[in-house]
Structure 1
Amino acid sequence: MKQKNSKLYILTGGPGAGKTSLLNELNKKGFMTVPEEGRRIIKEQISIKGDALPWINKKRFADLMFEASVNSFLKIDKLEEQPVFFDRGILDTIGYLKLENIPVPDEMKTKADTMKYHNNVFILPPWKEIYENDLERKQTIEVAQATFDCMNETYLEYGYNLIEVPKISIKQRAEFILNIIGNHE
């Protein structure tokens, strides 16, 4: 098993928990951030009238998400020496497949075992008060909770240390994370 990367941090959890807003705040503070691949893929598939959408072809959607996450990991791992924050990571695709009761291919398991992020993973719990649906997010708050539970289980299964980010302001959430990684302004 490869040593976990000390500079690549994951923000995970269910949909609508504030991951993107938190990622944007960390970016404003000067940190490199990598947006969620799922949203990009959904927007792209809608624009080309593709079927790799979570409400049409879940397996194809997961395959594209996994491929994009692996590519982002490889690109950033080679280039960056400062902390980088990812809105979801390689294991999120495995968690998604588990959530949807779709078998996880061995290739995905192997890559997840060898392509490691920092051992501390930041997980954002469902937060009903800020949860909103939009064109790319059609899940209910109940599905958001199930996704959170599945991501929690998946990251623990792969040996990561989960740190739950409290339900506080975006700025406070960013400071919470930066205090933990020991890198504040």
Structure 2
Amino acid sequence: MEINDQFFILTGGPGMGKTAVIAALRERGHITVPETGRHIIRQQVAAGGHALPWDDRAAFAQLMFEQSVADYQANREQTAPVFFDRGIADTIGYLELCGLPVPEDMLRIARSWRFNKKVFLAPPWQAIYEQDTERKQSFAEAVATCECMISIYRRLDYKLIYLPESTVAARADFIMAAVNT
């Protein structure tokens, strides 16, 4: 088992402000890792690919998993905190949300390659939720996604810390206060 206490995950349903908080942390000079899902969607659309959440969810999940593993490996040498917009376990939550089987290697890696025990969760917040060309889920689907993330992180024995409904800056301050305690 490998535990990296400097790796912090920000998870939750889509459209709950995770990416904005990650951007705020990056602007403050912290090391951040962007969400893989949007990047994969853009690549697949540009290439005419089918590994998309509205086409081939299993292939989409596999690409997300591979990128999450690569992001973990690429940051192993960091000694300062690294903030991830979603973690390896998010792919498992996504597969469960879709009713798809979870490959054993994904579970094994999620159990073996550990992040800091504190996982920050951006809970459902309808006031800030917006759909766009890449985020096609309804708010109800976003809530269901969040519930799957809560479930997988709890099963993997992480401690969920819920972000307050507040400004992006206040949420970033909240994370930093929790990281430093």
TM-score by length of structure 2 reads 0.98
Aligned length: 181
SS in 2 for 1:129: helix
SS in 1 for 2:143: helix
Query: Residue 103 of structure 1: SS of its match in structure 2?
Result: coil
Matched, 1:172 2:170: yes
For residues 142 and 46 of structure 2, what CA distance do their matches in structure 1 show? 25
- 1:179, distance to aligned residue in structure 2 (A): 0.5
2:141 corresponds to: 143
Q: CA deviation at 1:5?
A: 1.4
Q: CA offsets per residue over residues 34-77 of structure 1, 9 Å max, x none?
A: 00000000000000010000000000000000000000001101
> RMSD of aligned C-alpha atoms?
0.9
* Residue 118 of structure 1: aligned partner: 116
Task: Specify which of 80, 93, 105 is matched with residue 78 of structure 2.
Answer: 80
For 2:171, the aligned partner's letter is R
Uncovered stretches (5+) of structure 2, i.e. residues with no partner: none
Quote the residue 1:36 is aligned against.
Answer: 35
| 2:101 is the counterpart of 1:103 | yes
Identity across matched positions, percent = 45
Q: Tell me how far 1:123 sits from its aligned partner.
A: 0.4
SS of 1:41's equivalent?
helix
Q: Shift of the alpha carbon at 1:4?
A: 2.9
- Corresponding residue for residue 90 of structure 2: 92
Shift of 1:120: 0.2
Cα displacement string for residues 101-120 of structure 1 (whole angstroms, at most 9, x for unaligned residues):
10100011111111110000
Partner of 2:50: 51
Structure 1 counterpart SS, 2:119: strand
Whether contact under 8 Å (1:4, 1:119) holds in the other structure is no
Residue in structure 2 matched with residue 68 of structure 1 by the alignment: 67
Using the alignment, how far apart are the partners of 1:130 and 1:161 within structure 2?
25
* Partner AA of 2:65 in structure 1: F
What letter is aligned with 2:92? I
Is 1:163 aligned to 2:161, yes or no? yes
Answering whether residue 33 of structure 2 is matched by residue 10 of structure 1, we say no
Amino acid at match of 1:82: A
